[in-house]
Structure 1
Amino acid sequence: MRPAVDDGAAEPLAASTLTRSDDVEKHVAEAQESVRSRGAVSIDRGCLRTMLQRGAHVAGAEIMWGATFA
């Protein structure tokens, strides 16, 4: 079941924009902050990195799969 949260605030990231390591880490950090702002207590960085490289929305529901909530 997919999480219901998707505010649509972020544009999807093109996979081609996430080819350099520093770009990936920057977007992973942004995704972590977005998930934390929604109440996450634990975030799987590897899961976020993979989803972002595949074009997931930074603030979309897709990144919620890598989070654990209290």
Structure 2
Amino acid sequence: MVVLFPDIGRRSHHLHIFEAGSANRQSLLAFRDHLRSHPGDAAEYGRIKALLAAADDRDRPRYRAGKAPFIEGVLKRLG
């Protein structure tokens, strides 16, 4: 199986598509809204993402796994 990822420098969009009312959609929106209203958490999330991307900007599974603990922690605090 060959998986191709576009060059990150050439990306113009990143989309999430969910079925209306899905739990994943609700979680994503809650996380987004939290970051918008909590600049300290937004800065920390940005720091984590930058470190992960600097380590290997082509390993998407590792990048997602590296962000997961922070995202899960925020969502847990939100209930």
TM-score by length of 1: 0.34
Q: RCO higher in 1 or 2 (8 Å CA, sep ≥ 6)? A: 1
Higher strand share: 1
Higher helix share: 2
TM-score by length of 2: 0.32
Q: Which has the larger radius of gyration?
A: 2
